[in-house]
Amino acid sequence: MAAPDPGDGAFAIEVDGTDQSPLGMPPADFLRDYWQKRPLLVRNAFAGYRSPIEPGDLAGLACEDGVLARIVRHDRQRDAWTLETGPFPEEKFPGMPDHDWTLLVQDVDKWDPDIAALLEHFGFLPRWRLDDIMVSFAAPGGSVGAHVDQYDVFLLQAHGHRRWQIDAGANPPTDFRDDVELKLLRRFHPSHDWVLGPGDMLYLPPGVPHHGVAEDACLTFSVGMRAPSSAELLGDYVDHVLAAADDSTRYQDPDLALPDDPARIDAAALDRVRQALDRLRTDPAALGDWFGRFITTYRNAVEVAPAPDLPTPAETGQALAAGLVLHRHPYSRMAWHGDGADTQLFANGEAWHLPQADARCLANARVLDAATVGALSPAGRACLDDLVQAGHFLLSGDGD
C-alpha cells in the first residue's frame, strides 16, 4: 500500500496533547482527518508518562516460554543486520553490548495488566481491530532499520528518547533490500525528523516508511492494529464456504445452444460459471458469522485453555456470591454482531446466539462480579458457564 498523500499542508502533522485529549483533538476529528490518511505526532499525548515496566522486566519476559521475542543487531561498519528469535537464556542479556541492538517483545499487554490498561485510551477504535502492545528496548543507537508496516500503529515513547524519521511523501519507494533477512527498505528519504521523549506519541497509517533510532537507552510501546490482507480474508472465507457447500450444486447449462466452435469457452459459459459461484455466496448474517469467528482468532498467539480444577456452574455462582470475581483471560478475544434477537457473541472462533444486551456485556467485560452476572438472561448465564469452562473467564479475588 502506498503512503497516503499528506495533502497541501492544511492538516497539522504535529499537535499538542492534553490529559483530556491524548490525540490533541476529539477522536472523531482524528478519525476523519488522520486515520489511514496521514501521520500525526502528538507531543505530550501522555504527559509525565512513566513506564510501568523496566528494561530488566522486559528481558525477563523475553526468556519465558510462549513469549514472542526478537533481538535485532546492527553492525554499522558493514551496515549488516542480524535477527535472533527467543525465548532467550537468562545469561543472554548481561553480556549484550551497550549500543546498536534492540529487544522486541510482542503481546506484552497479555502479560502485564498495567500495559494492558493503555488500551483503554484507544476506545475510539473497534476493539477487534486492536492487535497487541509490542514493547521494545533499544540500547543507544539501537534500531530495526527503515521499514514500512501494512497496518496502523501508535508509537508511544515510554522511557528515554528515540529519533523518528518518516517519509510522508506520496508514493515513496518501498522496495526491500535483498541482503538482510529483515524487510528493510532499499531506499529511504525522510521528510520529517523528530526526537520523541516520554509521553510523546507518533501515529502512522499503513504504508508510511519510518526509521527509529534510540538516542539513549529507551523503551517504546507500539500499539498495533489487526489488518488481515485480502488474500488472508479470501483464503479463510473460501475454506468456510467450501465446508458448507452442497456438492450437488454444480455448473448447469439447460439453455445450451449449438456452439460455433466446440473448443471455445464463450460468454454464455462464463455467465453460467458466475451463476454457479453466486450460489455459493452467503447472506449477510452468514458473512457476519464467518467474520466474527475469523477476526477473533486472527493473529492470536496463544490458545485459551481450561484452567485446572474448573469450578462447576454452581460453584462459580457461590464464589461470586462470596465476593470473588471473574477476570477475562488476557488472550481471550471477543466481539459481537447482529441486531435484536439475531445477535451472536464470538470468542476465539466460537459463537453463541444471545440477546444483544448479554452479548454486549460479555464482549466488553474485563471483570464480572455477582451483580453483573445476575443481570444476564438465562441464555447469557449459560453462555458464561461455557466461557468459564473453556477458560475465557477465571475466578479470582480482587487482589489476584
Rounded to 10 degrees, the C-alpha dihedral 244/248/249/250 comes to 130
263-287 tens-digit pLDDT: 999 999 999 999 888 877 766 778 8
Specify the higher pLDDT residue, 369 or 283: 369
- Second CATH level (architecture) for the domain 14-225: Sandwich (2.60)
- CATH code of the domain made up of 313-396: 3.40.366.30
177-196 tens-digit pLDDT: 999 999 999 999 999 999 99
Cβ-contact 134, 221 below 8 angstroms: yes
d(CA 123, CA 57): 27
Residue 3 DSSP symbol: P
Specify the higher pLDDT residue, 246 or 150: 150
87 preceded by cis ω (within 30°)? yes
Instruction: Using the structure block, give the residue that is written with the C-alpha cell 501522555.
Output: 46
Mean pLDDT value across the chain: 92
Cβ-contact 187, 173 below 8 angstroms: yes
Phi-psi region for residue 52, left (φ > 0), alpha (ψ -120 to 50) or beta?
A: alpha
Cβ-contact 182, 147 below 8 angstroms: yes
**pLDDT over 90 at 250, yes or no:** no
Domain ranges of the chain: 14-225, 230-283, 313-396
38, 46, 125, 160, 383 from 10: Cα distances, Å: 12, 25, 24, 32, 50
Q: At what angle do helices 284-295 and 230-244 cross, to 10 degrees?
A: 120
**pLDDT over 80 at 8, yes or no:** no
**pLDDT over 80 at 321, yes or no:** yes
Residues contacting 136, CB < 8 A, separation 6+: 102, 103, 104, 105, 144, 219, 220, 222
**pLDDT over 60 at 399, yes or no:** no
Please tell me the predicted confidence (pLDDT) of residue 3.
Answer: 43
The amino acid at residue 101 is W
**pLDDT over 90 at 381, yes or no:** yes
322-335 tens-digit pLDDT: 999 999 999 999 99
Cβ-contact 100, 76 below 8 angstroms: yes
Cβ-contact 344, 289 below 8 angstroms: yes
Specify the higher pLDDT residue, 287 or 42: 42
**pLDDT over 90 at 7, yes or no:** no
Please tell me the predicted confidence (pLDDT) of residue 94.
Answer: 92
**pLDDT over 60 at 398, yes or no:** no
Q: What is the pTM of this model?
A: 0.90
